[in-house]
Amino acid sequence: MIKLPAQWERQDCILMVFPHKDSDWADDLESAKSVFIKIASSICFKQKLILICNDVEAVKSLFCYIDKISFVKLESNDTWIRDFGVISVYENGVRKLIDFQFNAWGGKFPFLLDNEINKKLHSKLVFKDAKLQSEDFVLEGGSIESDGCCTILTTTKCLLNPNRNPNLNKNQIENRLKTTLGAKRILWLNHGELLGDDTDAHIDTLARFIDRDTIAYVSCEDKKDPHFEELLKMKMELKTFIRGDGKPYRLIPLPLPLPKYKNNKRLPATYANFLITNYAVLLPTYEDLLDKKMIILFKELFPTREIIPINSIRLIEEGGSIHCSTINVCF
């Protein structure tokens, strides 16, 4: 039996890749470093962090305390490790890591270095003696959500996009999710997408499991906003989903912040791109009037965890946010 744990379950560490001059952050590298340092420091205060970087000594000098950080020297194309990092599962109670193929969201950007990182980490014994299973199947971590009970939430716009696995149909893709991740139920969203998002509607920008019975989803109340119709249809779809016991999910709306732009391009600002660690929830904020309201809401949703708000404007300028730049690992 295979189980894909929920993200609120116990983790061994978080993986991150630190930005560098040859990544998309090159136009303003110092401001990018600043937000990555905030994320990393918030994690490693109480939890182990594995930080991949191309210059270990230079990056290490940026941190005040490093006892919970393992610095690993590896080259990378970029920093969105949620989508190319290992995915942790349990097989008959034994931890196993799965290395899916990564093609930069359908070949939109360079990716060859990123696609090799899991194998290199494994060869360096970063994951100790955990088994690494490589799969000839394109799958990004941000495209799936697990409730820890064999239900996976995802989107058709991403997983059925011909730029991922063009030779597989929906049934074949479902079977791969079942055999590799232990899924028994796949909940497919046909609607929902954010402007400025390069991922073809990753679920971690739209809807997230809070617990087995609750889904938080991005909502839009402004009828003039171009997201209104699509997100309303997504909400209606979510209302039709039922839990494993046949009851409907409790649905928690996460309002869209006011539109954010860079070079006249709308940025994919979303409060759904939060990270759950063993002790805290790192919540993206956007210098928005809704930020305080979301902090209060997340304190109610995660009463046993500290809520750590992190200004994520710089992150969404490159298309992602906190969840995209991190991945939880069990090994």
pLDDT for 8-26, tens place per residue? Answer: 999 999 999 999 999 889 9
**Mean pLDDT of the region 193-215:** 98
State the CATH number of the domain containing residue 153: 3.75.10.10
Output the pLDDT for position 276: 98
Output the pLDDT for position 220: 97
Q: Is the pLDDT of residue 134 over 90?
A: yes
Q: Is the pLDDT of residue 64 over 90?
A: no
- Helix, strand, coil shares of the chain, percent, nearest 5, are 30, 25, 45
Tell me the three state secondary structure of residue 20: coil
Q: Is the pLDDT of residue 331 over 90?
A: no
Residue type, 235: K
**Mean pLDDT of the region 110-116:** 97
Q: Is the pLDDT of residue 303 over 90?
A: yes
Number of domains within the chain: 1
Residues 292, 282, 154, 164: what is their CA dihedral angle, to the nearest 10 degrees?
120
Q: How confident is the model at residue 125 (pLDDT cuts 50, 70, 90)?
A: very high
Output the pLDDT for position 34: 97
Name, in order, each residue with C-beta under 8 angstroms of 296's C-beta and a sequence gap of 6 or more: none
Q: Is the pLDDT of residue 322 over 90?
A: yes
pTM of the complete model beyond 0.95: yes
Long-range contacts of 58-63 (CB under 8 A, 24+ apart): 59/18, 62/33, 62/37, 63/37
Alpha carbon distances (Å) from 161 to 14, 200, 227, 234, 319: 29, 8, 20, 18, 19
Output the pLDDT for position 45: 86
Whole-angstrom Cα distance, residue 230 to residue 16?
A: 32
Whole-angstrom Cα distance, residue 144 to residue 190?
A: 14
Whole-angstrom Cα distance, residue 20 to residue 193?
A: 29
Cα 220 to chain centroid, rounded: 21
Q: How confident is the model at residue 130 (pLDDT cuts 50, 70, 90)?
A: very high
* Structural domain of 322: 2-329
**Mean pLDDT of the region 49-57:** 96
Task: Output the CA torsion sign for 267, 270, 276, 281.
Answer: positive
Name, in order, each residue with C-beta under 8 angstroms of 224's C-beta and a sequence gap of 6 or more: none
Output the pLDDT for position 24: 87
Q: Is the pLDDT of residue 65 over 90?
A: no
Element (H, E) at 180: helix 170-181
Whole-angstrom Cα distance, residue 231 to residue 245?
A: 26
**Mean pLDDT of the region 267-288:** 98
Q: Is the pLDDT of residue 133 over 90?
A: yes
Instruction: Report which of residues 45 and 34 the model is more confident about.
Output: 34
Output the pLDDT for position 70: 96
Whole-angstrom Cα distance, residue 106 to residue 198?
A: 9
User: What single-letter DSSP state applies at residue 242?
Assistant: B
Q: How confident is the model at residue 150 (pLDDT cuts 50, 70, 90)?
A: very high
Q: What mean pLDDT, rounded, does the chain reach?
A: 97
